[in-house]
Each structure stands twice: as structure tokens, then as C-alpha cells.
Structure 1
Amino acid sequence: MTLPTASHYIGGAWVTDGPLADSVNPADDTVLGQFHAGSAALVDQAATEARRVFTATDWAHAPRVRAQVLFEFADAMAAARDDIADLIVAENGKLRSEAIGETMGAISEARYYAGLARTIRGTMQEITPGQMSLFHREAAGVAGIIVPWNAPVTLLVRSLAPALAAGCTCVLKPARQTPLVHARIMACLAACPSLPAGVVNSVNEADIAVGQAIVATPLIDVISFTGSSATGKAVMAGAAPTLKRVGLELGGKAPALIFSDADLDAAVRELTHGALTMAGQICVAAARFIVHDSIAQDFTDRIKAAFAAVRVGPGRDPASQMGSLIDRDNLIRLEHIIARAGDEGELVLKGQPTGKGAFLTPTLFRINDLTSSLVQDELFGPIVSIETFSDEAEAVTRANATAYGLAASVFTTDHARALRVSRAVRAGTIWINSHMRLSAEAETGGFGQSGLGRLHGPEGLYDFLETKHIYTEQGLI
């Protein structure tokens, strides 16, 4: 059987330049296919094409065309839904139910921004009689979109859809772990009859050269990056010489605050899902359980039983309840973290590698030292700490004790407390008696080192739009 090969996509054509590298299934270490690795020269070619289309065509001034393209894109993804989901499972290792959810989320995102494409309006102000200021919202230019591996479809479309809706042209870079999924999405775009060639271009990457070139080139005006905070800082520094606008959704260390009056059955159900979706490899995953002293043991017993009951296995197996990690390197990294958790804290449930591939069962550990790197750093896996608090003020202090502020959740039956604590916790999204509810309509983004700007919702357009002031007065024309 001939394995698939993922090519670059530039100027409306598939480009096969660059050495071949393997795409590997993390669940069984088999080679799924190959991809052509890109280069700075290919980024220059793609960015030059995107710049040409932006300046020489009507794309940026044709909202109805842009809406039509996004509807066509959504329809193409819907028609290929099962193929896309199967590729996500194979390349990423997550459950098929998660892969279907991700694909449907991307379809929803494309349709949402198709609607917004035709609603972008400016304003007018008469400053003094006869003096008129017109404020026009227009596309910011060429957007560079750098996509992570953990949700390679949703996290692409949530940046690409608003960029296209705003009128930008784009250069994309998929993660090296998920090139085949990305190529399938690019095929959906290539099939859109209303999409002009060169509006969307994509260059694969095997190391860091492509990402660095996208960030550095003066041909790109906007960067939308999703990834770690450390890499986000490097992106920001790399974009500084050309003064690019930079949108960053970075790391998280989401705390879940469980108060003494919480419905523990509901909390355990929500937080098992909220912590272990995608094997915990998602920036909004519940990473810290901060529990009132009076219920700490009861909650710990319940969540331990729930975590221990999770069946870890291949994403294609309907009986699996958590899939694999992205690769063996991350498995080794997390095993070292589990060993440290046993030394610095108390292991409640010790995760173990299981079977062939990058599988790891969930881990829980108790710790109250806020200075520990186990509390401060994003661990990005199925490993969750349990901390305790004695009153509301301490709960908020603990929740705000890290440099991150992407998401959090509050579990209580006291409505006033829920709102009061939600206002006090510094995070971009706070869920009450739930965790990890995401939609195209609701903005997400971070405080602190969790990033800059917002994605999803109307504000998702902002990074890709500029405001132009046009002044006129009577008698000058």
C-alpha cells in the first residue's frame, strides 16, 4: 500500500519541494505517511504570493465572496468529516469521539465567521459642523498562522476563519506531528470554487526554520500563534524587528476551585472530563484541583476512583476513554514529572505507561507548596495536583498564584459566591459548575503569560483588522 504524502500548498498549487519526513502514529509507532519539509525559501514564496493577492485583487474588499468561501469550506469539511476524524485519531492519538467533536467545532467556526464576514462596519463622526471623520475597518494584510499539534483542525480554523472573514490572505504552518491532517484540511480549501488562488498558502515544517521565517519576514503583517508560553515569547521577540501585530494563545494551568457546598458527584464528573480530555494535552485542561479542607478527603477519594476507572487505549477503540500522548518523547518527559511529584508531594494515583505506544494512565498528587515548579509550570498531560484551602480568600490567592491565566472553574451551589470568585480569579474564561465548555461564539484568551488577544467570537476578528481614519470637510472637495 502506498502511504500518503503531504505537500505544501502555495498559490493554489501543491508543491513537493523539500526532503521527506515521516508522520508516526503515537498509539502504535507505525509510519502513517510522509510530508515534505519546508524551508525559509518556501515561506518567502508563499508570503510573496499572499502579498500579491492581497494588494492586486479585490479579496480584501469583497465580504460576500469571503463569506461564500467560508461556507464552501465548512461544507467541504462536513463532507469529509469521517476522513478528517480518522486522520486526527491516527496522527494525534486522541479518541475518535474527540476527533469528531474537533471536526464539528471547526465546521461551526467556519460557518460562524462566514456570517460575520458580511457584518464588518465602520463608523462616522461629525466633529464640528461640516467636519467629518470616517472610521473604516479593513483587513490588516497578510496573516501568518502557526498551528499546534494538540487540536490541529480546530486551532487552525479558529484563526484562519476570522483572518479570511476580515479580508486577510494567509500563510499557514502546521505542526510537524500532524501534517496529514493539515493536508486534508488544505484539500478542503483547495476544493472551494470561490477561493482565489494564493489567498491561503501553507508550508510544512520538520524543525523550526519555517516558523522562524514566518515570524521574521516583512511580507507578513500579523502573527496568530497557539502554543507554549516559552515559544510565544520567542515569537514576540522575532516579530519585534518588523513590528508585526501578534496574537498569542499560550499555556495554561487551569485551577478548579471546589467549595464545601459543591455537588461532588457533578464536580468529579466534570473534572474527570475537564482534566483528561485529549490526555490532558490541552491548554484549558483542569490542572489543579483546589479543594476546601472540609471535603478534601471525600473529593480525593472520589476523583481517585474516577481517574483510576478511566480506560486508556487506542483512539479508534470505542471502549477507550482516554487516548495516547502525542509521542514517546512526551511520555518520557511526563514519567520524570511523576517521579518528581512523588518526591515533592504525595502520589495519590501514580500514572503508568501501558501497552505499545505513548500511553500513560492518569496521575493525581497532593501538594501545597505554591513555589513548586509542579504547581507553577504547565505539565501538559494527564497529571493533576490536589491542593487545599481553608477560606474563600485563600482559594482565590491559590488560583492566582501562577503566571498563567487562561481558564479556571468554580464549583459551588452558592450563586453569589460563584460570581464573586469568578470576578476575583484572573483568567480569560471561568466556568461555573462545569469545565471546558467552548464554542465559536464565545471569546477565549489569557491573562498574564497565557497570551495576548482573543480568539472565537466577534473579538476574534480584531487581530486581523485595522481602523483607518478618513477625514473630510465641506468646501475641500
Structure 2
Amino acid sequence: MPLRPETASRLLIDGTLTAGSGGTFDVVNPATEEVIGQAAQATSADMDAAIAAARRAFDTTDWSRDHAFRARCLRQLRDALKGHVDELRELTIAEVGCPSFLTHGPQLEGPIDDLGYFADLAENYDWTVDLGEAEPMGIKNHREVRSEAVGVVGAITPWNFPHQINFAKIGPALAAGCTVVLKPAPDTPWCAALVGEVIATETDIPAGVINIVTSTDHRLGEQLTADPRVDLVSFTGSTATGRAVMSTAAQTLTKVFLELGGKSAFLVLDDADLATACSMAAFNVVTHAGQGCAITTRLVVPREKLAEATALTRDALAGLAAGDPTKPGTVCGPLISARQRERVEEYLRIAVEEGGTIETGGGRPEGLERGYFVSPTLISGLDNSARVAQEEIFGPVLVILPHDGDDDAIAIANDSPYGLSGQVWGTDPERLDHVVNGVRTGTMGVNGGIWYAADVPFGGYKQSGIGREMGVAGFAEYLETKAVARPA
């Protein structure tokens, strides 16, 4: 059955595709500002039914104990989604505004493939570890440690990379034996709703194991977080909202996984190929219009090369103009909404007020009267204390800062409330390793190294979050540990 926009206006609750009790809400194409369809508007009653279904499926079925069945269901979902990949690509570009080339990687095909990795984990994980015999208090015992599913997972996801983040939660949670209630962002409901349709119609995943609730009402996320029937809340989004999630979950001592904001540094050492490094920094910050928490948005270069680096980066950004995301050559598409564009434009005003210079960009591009576009922008003339160097902007905005040697570059990178990602460029292996060891961040790329993969744990230090997503570490977030002892 083909996936179409008109089929994306349904919730998935207890195995049934159903209309939202609140009717529907509009889905807007951020590249054209046109309403392209509707999504189901869930209410508090719908969320309550979804949580009840997930609780029932976990407590009354063998889902959490049948590892082979879960692996088969995940592979079944992966293969079914691959059969719809062209339809999903078209709808994802229209809803997210992401450049077409990204759907061949982290915006679609990569996350679908990653479901196979989590299926393999379900089959091959050491669910029981034998600790052998011991004699505590002189009594001989045989001990073992078991890993078990944590229970019902409330997953709350953002709009910037919806498939990647949805599957980074759904995949390991289901593989671990949990049941899930997914509350996706209201800006990108189709990416979740259409997956729900595939789950309901083309897989053997039992009713209630996964429930998908779309809504513009942010109180439903709070309801999901506060409900005592939920055992773990997995949230990706802003640090401010993460604090609220953590505070609400604390009332019931519900476990939380938080993947939050970033203000990552791109460090260029004095022995680096400056032109290549600056070109890569420019490319990184405009990818998907800078709407990624791990994108490097501070370019930190040797002070003696600041003028040259500024010119190189300015020229590189000028060649990466914002444009139509359906065109193959586009790297920088639109921002997700008018609200987000206003937020980015406000930061550009703040940069000028603080004494910064807009080297290129700084506003809406000519010739794109429709769509939420902002031109790729480079800001110079500020230090690391400036707001645009300290706060997450979530737009195609790069701040260039000077450093006075490797240790100063490390200090600038660490002078941030965040610690999510980073890059370092240079040629001396010992100096590169010194920088990698010194920067307090969850991921680091060296000379363009790509850390993103299903088996690589992702997460941050400090206010960038709690826990890890992806990899075995991300899988373990959805497990409890039980020690068992018997007389030997």
C-alpha cells in the first residue's frame, strides 16, 4: 500500500490506526510556506490510552522475553520501510525541508538501516552473565547477572532529524524488550505517523508495543513524562526543555535519558591546511541550515591566521547559498518555521549590537521570497563571551574566534555550558591527541573523521545531556540489571 499524505493523519494506539480526538492540524512545507496536509491532533485522552496500551503490552505479553521475535520484527520493519523509501524521501523533504542528499544518509536511509544493528543486538547480547561461585559469609552461592527491559518508554523527539532521532529511540528500546509511546515534534508529525502506518499494516509487532501520538499540544509531553506507568523518558531537544523533563520525572523518580543542546567548536591548529579546514567548517555549519545539535558553530583559528581564515571561510560560505531542498546540489535548505527564522534573525541583531561584524549573509537571501530561509552567515570581531558564541542558535551561523595556541584552543572549546561534539584539524598526531584528550565533549572528529554510526555512542558532557544514544551504550540505557544468587 503506498504511503500518502492523507494517510498520515492517524495515531497508532494499541495496534490501531485511529483519528485524533482533537481533529487535525496543518503540516507546512518550510521551503514554500504552503500547507501540504494534516496530521492527527491527539488529546490528553489519546495519550492516556497510548500509555495504558504500552503498559499492558509490557506487563501481559512475552515481548520483553522473546529476543528472537523482537529481532525478527525489527528486521521486518526495516525491510518494509525500505520498500517505501522513495515515498518517504519525498514526504520527508517536503515536511522537514532537509536537502535531498541528506535523505540518503542521516535523514532517512541511514536510520532505517540502523534498525538491523539493533536487531542483531537483541539476538546476540549477553542477557545473562555468569559470575561463578563465591562464599559470602561462608555460604557457597552461584551468582549471575541478568539484563532485563526497563519497561514502558516515553520517547519525546524534535523536528530537525526526525527519522534519525525517532529510530535511535525506537530501535534500541524495542530491541531491549521495552514498549514505547512516541511523541514526535508537531513540526514533523508525518515522519512518525507514516512509520506507524507501516508498523500497523506490514509488521508483526504486537498491539501496544509501540504507540505514536502526534499533537501540537506540548502538555502531552509533560503528561507522558509525569505518568507513573512510564518507566523511562527518553528526550531529545533543548537544554531548557530537558531541565523541565528532568524536574517532572523527578516527582516519580522516573529514569531519564536526555540528549540536549550544543555549541561545538571546530578547532584549527597552526599546522593545519587552513583552506581545507575553513571549507569544511563552512560546509558543516550550513548543512541542513545548521539545524543540528552536534554541528560545529564556533570556528577557532590561530590568531596570526585570523584574517586569512576569515576570508577563506567567508568565500566558502558565499558559495553555499540557501536554496530549494529538492534540488540535488542544495546543502542549506530552509529553517523549519517562521518562529525559528525569527529566533535566528534575533541572534544576528544581537551579534551586531555586541560589536560583531557580519562578514557574509546576515539576512534573508534574495530571490527566495517564500520559505523560511536565512543566508549562511559568518560573524567576526567577537570573543567567546558573546551570546552568539555561548548560546545555541540552530541556524546557518558561524562565529570565528582566535586562539593563542593549542591549550588556549582547548580552553575556548571548554568555555561553554555544553559539551556535545567538536572537530580538530592539524597534522601532528601528538598535538591532535592532546586536543582530543583536553576537550570535554561526547564526540570529536579529527581532520574530518565521521563518528556518526549505529554502533557509536552519542551524547554529551555538562548541559548537553545525560546518558548515551546509539551503540551498545545506548542500548543499555533501556535495560535494568538484576543480580540472582542460588545456593551452590
Structure 1 length-normalised TM:
0.96
Which amino acid letter does the alignment assign opposite residue 263 of structure 2?
K
Provide the rounded CA distance (Å) in 2 between the counterparts of 1:98 and 1:257: 25
Q: Secondary structure at the match of 1:442?
A: coil
Provide the rounded CA distance (Å) in 1 between the counterparts of 2:7 and 2:124: 40
Q: Secondary structure at the match of 1:116?
A: helix
- Is 1:26 the counterpart of 2:37 in the alignment? no
On the 8 A contact 1:7/1:183 being kept in 2, the answer is yes
User: How far 1:441 moved relative to its partner?
Assistant: 1.1
Provide the rounded CA distance (Å) in 2 between the counterparts of 1:397 and 1:469: 43
Identify the residue that residue 388 of structure 2 maps to in structure 1.
374
User: How far 1:435 moved relative to its partner?
Assistant: 6.1
Provide the rounded CA distance (Å) in 2 between the counterparts of 1:336 and 1:289: 21
Identify the residue that residue 239 of structure 2 maps to in structure 1.
229
Q: Secondary structure at the match of 1:257?
A: strand
Q: 1:280 aligns with which of 290, 297, 307?
A: 290
On the 8 A contact 1:291/1:386 being kept in 2, the answer is yes
User: Where do 1:250-289 residues align within 5 Å?
Assistant: 250-289=260-299
On the 8 A contact 1:82/1:100 being kept in 2, the answer is no
What is the RMSD computed on CA atoms of the aligned residues? 1.5
Identify the residue that residue 363 of structure 1 maps to in structure 2.
377
On the 8 A contact 2:286/2:320 being kept in 1, the answer is no
Where structure 1 has 5 or more consecutive residues not aligned to the other structure, the ranges are none
Q: Secondary structure at the match of 2:256?
A: strand
Provide the rounded CA distance (Å) in 1 between the counterparts of 2:424 and 2:8: 46
Q: Which moved more, 1:339-348 or 1:461-470?
A: 339-348
Give a deviation string over 1:428-466, Cα, whole Å, max 9, x none: 001101165411111110000000000111111111000
Q: 1:156 aligns with which of 153, 163, 166?
A: 166
Identify the residue that residue 388 of structure 1 maps to in structure 2.
402
Where structure 2 has 5 or more consecutive residues not aligned to the other structure, the ranges are none
Structure 2 length-normalised TM:
0.94
Identify the residue that residue 10 of structure 2 maps to in structure 1.
7
User: How far 1:332 moved relative to its partner?
Assistant: 1.5
Identify the residue that residue 323 of structure 1 maps to in structure 2.
333
Change (3 A) 1:26 1:193: closer
On the 8 A contact 2:29/2:35 being kept in 1, the answer is yes
- Is 1:194 the counterpart of 2:204 in the alignment? yes
User: How far 1:3 moved relative to its partner?
Assistant: 4.8
- Is 1:131 the counterpart of 2:141 in the alignment? yes
On the 8 A contact 2:193/2:214 being kept in 1, the answer is no
Provide the rounded CA distance (Å) in 1 between the counterparts of 2:225 and 2:92: 27
- Is 1:423 the counterpart of 2:437 in the alignment? yes
Change (3 A) 1:363 1:404: same
Alignment identity in percent? 35
Change (3 A) 1:92 1:33: same
Which amino acid letter does the alignment assign opposite residue 390 of structure 1?
D
Q: Secondary structure at the match of 1:399?
A: helix
Provide the rounded CA distance (Å) in 2 between the counterparts of 1:192 and 1:415: 50
On the 8 A contact 1:54/1:142 being kept in 2, the answer is yes
Q: Which moved more, 1:382-391 or 1:4-13?
A: 4-13
Identify the residue that residue 167 of structure 1 maps to in structure 2.
177
User: How far 1:120 moved relative to its partner?
Assistant: 2.4
User: How far 1:242 moved relative to its partner?
Assistant: 1.1
Provide the rounded CA distance (Å) in 2 between the counterparts of 1:2 and 1:10: 19
Provide the rounded CA distance (Å) in 1 between the counterparts of 2:380 and 2:192: 39
Provide the rounded CA distance (Å) in 2 between the counterparts of 1:156 and 1:445: 15
Identify the residue that residue 51 of structure 2 maps to in structure 1.
47
User: Where do 1:83-102 residues align within 5 Å?
Assistant: 83-101=87-105, 102=107
User: Where do 1:306-317 residues align within 5 Å?
Assistant: 306-317=316-327
On the 8 A contact 1:76/1:191 being kept in 2, the answer is no
Provide the rounded CA distance (Å) in 1 between the counterparts of 2:362 and 2:270: 28
User: How far 1:378 moved relative to its partner?
Assistant: 0.5
